[in-house]
Structure 1
Amino acid sequence: MNGDHELSDREPARMYDRAVACTSTGDVLGVVEALCARETRDATEWAARIAGEVVSPDGPAGGRRLVRWTAWRLARRPSRVALEPLFAGLPERLDRAAEFRACLLQEMALRFGLDGGPYVAYRERLAELGHPLAWLPLASLDFERRLRDGGWTPGSMLGSLRPAQLRSRYAEVPPTAAGAAAGRGAREVREVARGAAVVAPFGEEGVQDVRFYVLPGPLDPVDWNAALLAGLPAPCLEGTSTRTMAAVHTTADDVLCDLFVAAFGGGVWGEPRMGAYGRLLAWRGLYALMGLGAEVSPYDAVRRAAEHRWLRFAVERHGGNDWFFGDLTDIAFAVLDPGRTRVVVLAHTETD
């Protein structure tokens, strides 16, 4: 494609054939971008047809990118008026057209909030057909405000924070001898399924370290600090000390946001999942960190998240730990359960 997609009033219907003739997913997206920019009902319907029908020249990964990117792009419009007719009919099966609308429905839910019309019926039909996105609420929770208001774009990615930066932005509790003892006495346990869900937002790129521990006894909240983490046996914590690590107190919505950004943008080398699947994977990751089942609603999960204690930590570059380098997209969190006896540690780096 030449990149000039200025459209006349009669042009939208011709763009479908131009999309079919494209030789790369990027060129198809150029056609879709021109249609999305029009914001008319006709252009919207043809953009939806391309996303739901045109086979990607770059195979399955390109097809996912086309479907998810188009849904995200349409939901970035200032109004949802031209989008509502796309949900007038209910799907009979989970084909590509239904997948596109499932993504669009959740992109709109996150951005606008959907409180009626055909949206509820479409979501209920998706649930009947077993689509995973039907689990998400049709409006963003206040807990998700950073997901909704962040202005994320396909190139968005996590950013590393050094220990000094953490200390300037968050509250840090001093290390304690009892915290160090609790860390040294912790017993690691295997949680394969939970671990897979925790790291799923990061895709197949980068390196993750997720560990589950049982403490020797209930932890005094004042001992939930860097000294405890430094005592835990984990690759991401090897060689750390309270001098080379900062562990600061945070909240679950901070964790959810980082999981979302990781899934949304795909990191430096990964596949972007965009808003709909980014939101789903972020919630699943947060549930796995807390050990919650899918039967728990997001509203109840928010309440339960407040009963946990959360740390964000960072390690000095070349401070005796070879796992973190601090030059790309490092993040690290730890969570203490309400009984104060179980700890989960999650760390991610894209420096190999």
Structure 2
Amino acid sequence: MSDRIQMIVTHLPDLNSVSEVRDTAERRLAQGDATFVADLGIALAERYGSSATPIWQYRSVFDHLLRLLAMTPGPENVEQALRLLRAASRGNRKVARHAASLLADGQAAKDLVIAFAGGSSRAAASAPEEFRACLLQELLLRNVLIAELPAIHAWATSPHWHHHPLAWLPLELSVTEERPPLPSYSMGGTAYALPYGPEGGPNITLGSVTPLPQAIDTTTAEFRSAAATAVANWAEESNGRSEAGSFELAAPVEAAFLPGLLASLGLECLKSVGSDKDFALSACRPENVWRMLFAAASTGGAYNDGVYGAYGRLAAWRSLAALSGTSTAAPFGEVEQNTQECDWYSFGAATEWFEGVAWDIGVVSVAPKARRIAVLAATDTD
């Protein structure tokens, strides 16, 4: 460890500002010294990274160092980012997920092959399997053709990683996954869209359409958990909450009946809804629902960063499986087929349950033959 790195590591907790440390790393990288940036990050991770609540100085500097290497194109920077990742991701899966998202966004796919095929450094050759699994998915989300990258394709189609939960996902984006809302990374931070709320299509009027078909509540704890997979991080890491319900109908439901039927189900999120001014329901495509759920899972709510792209993709499909009435053990193709066969609606409501800030989701699925509906609502606030 160089004297300069030792000094930074020793005095980091005493700093009121980490700007000078960041500037030093940026200058060294501009001079072509990516190794210094990785060495500094590794030393900091070894000293402060194992704490359950790392000091803010470490969190700020480490994220900046990782971004520097990931967002500055070039194979040398990739190799040094992998060195840093190997040291910092032990027992911390979130670091691997974050690094995969950053590198997929900031580096050319051809330069990321070394994470699967090895490189000049031993650290690159031994990239963590969790990171590889996430990086594969992050590249797919950015429309990289894995079949054109033999080393990555060979790893992705090998049997040894098929026990991994992400292996359930196909090696190409499906029709439902068009235009995934991905974050935009920079050295200054992260920007992303918030594709929530009603789709903006023609509203289905909340009127006195009668008689409403009888609805039997078939919600189970398993359904509730599975349907809310995509928004679970809002409740676990931010200020959010969710509600999910599944109902069997005594007669087929038509679109005109839906507003009144939803208002009659006893859902907390729609409690006290009484007029069109309080409630907006519109038909939407399954692609729109997937985008909402993917964004909620991958980028998080008001006070967290979500689970990033790879697990965000998986979480969105877990929610869609439940909402479309598909078994959680079903293959991907069956889940997507059932998703496409359902009718989908998005809704919003001016009730006390919804925070009405920026993170509001209301989704309804109507199964073929219109004898089953499922509802997912979520909200979060800063």
What band does the TM-score fall into relative to the shorter chain? 0.7 to 0.9
Per-residue deviation at 1:142?
Answer: 3.5
- For residues 10 and 189 of structure 1, the distance between their equivalents in structure 2, rounded to whole angstroms, comes to 61
Q: What residue is the counterpart of 2:7 in the other structure?
A: none
The SS at the match of 2:111 is: coil
1:3 aligns with 2:22: yes
Paired AA for residue 231 in structure 1:
S
Q: What residue is the counterpart of 2:139 in the other structure?
A: 108
The SS at the match of 1:171 is: coil
Per-residue deviation at 1:155?
Answer: 5.2
Q: What residue is the counterpart of 2:341 in the other structure?
A: 307
Considering Cα pairs closer than 8 Å and 6+ residues apart, tell me whether 1 or 2 has the greater RCO: 1
Q: What residue is the counterpart of 1:92 in the other structure?
A: none
- For residues 96 and 193 of structure 1, the distance between their equivalents in structure 2, rounded to whole angstroms, comes to 35
1:270-289 to structure 2, matched below 5 A, reads 270-289=304-323
- For residues 300 and 336 of structure 1, the distance between their equivalents in structure 2, rounded to whole angstroms, comes to 17
Q: What residue is the counterpart of 1:143 in the other structure?
A: 176
Gaps of at least 5 residues in structure 1 are 90-94
CA root-mean-square deviation: 2.7
Match of 1:197 among 215, 226, 229: 226
Q: Is the 8 A contact 2:212 2:261 kept in 1?
A: yes
Match of 1:21 among 43, 48, 54: 43
Q: Is the 8 A contact 1:102 1:126 kept in 2?
A: no
The SS at the match of 1:332 is: strand
1:343 aligns with 2:379: no
Q: Is the 8 A contact 1:127 1:135 kept in 2?
A: no
Please list the CA deviations of residues 296-344 of structure 1 after superposition, one character each: whole Å capped at 9, or x if unmatched. 444443332232111111112xxxx321231231111111111311111
- For residues 127 and 233 of structure 1, the distance between their equivalents in structure 2, rounded to whole angstroms, comes to 47
Match of 2:289 among 255, 279, 289: 255
- For residues 225 and 271 of structure 2, the distance between their equivalents in structure 1, rounded to whole angstroms, comes to 22
- For residues 78 and 299 of structure 2, the distance between their equivalents in structure 1, rounded to whole angstroms, comes to 24
Instruction: Report the CA distance shift for 1:34/1:175 in structure 2 as closer, same or farther (over 3 A).
Output: closer
Paired AA for residue 38 in structure 2:
Y
Paired AA for residue 17 in structure 1:
D
Paired AA for residue 13 in structure 1:
T
- For residues 215 and 227 of structure 1, the distance between their equivalents in structure 2, rounded to whole angstroms, comes to 14
The SS at the match of 2:95 is: helix
Q: Is the 8 A contact 1:198 1:289 kept in 2?
A: yes
1:36-47 to structure 2, matched below 5 A, reads 36-47=70-81
1:173 aligns with 2:204: yes
Please list the CA deviations of residues 21-61 of structure 1 after superposition, one character each: whole Å capped at 9, or x if unmatched. 224233222222222233222220110121122258xxx6x
Paired AA for residue 39 in structure 2:
D
- For residues 127 and 251 of structure 1, the distance between their equivalents in structure 2, rounded to whole angstroms, comes to 37
1:314-325 to structure 2, matched below 5 A, reads 314-316=348-350, 321-325=351-355
Please list the CA deviations of residues 199-255 of structure 1 after superposition, one character each: whole Å capped at 9, or x if unmatched. 122211311011111112222x34353122111111111111343211111121111
Instruction: Report the CA distance shift for 1:222/1:30 in structure 2 as closer, same or farther (over 3 A).
Output: closer
**TM-score, length-scaled by structure 2:** 0.77
Q: What residue is the counterpart of 1:217 in the other structure?
A: 251
- For residues 314 and 110 of structure 2, the distance between their equivalents in structure 1, rounded to whole angstroms, comes to 25
Q: Is the 8 A contact 2:230 2:315 kept in 1?
A: yes
- For residues 127 and 71 of structure 1, the distance between their equivalents in structure 2, rounded to whole angstroms, comes to 20
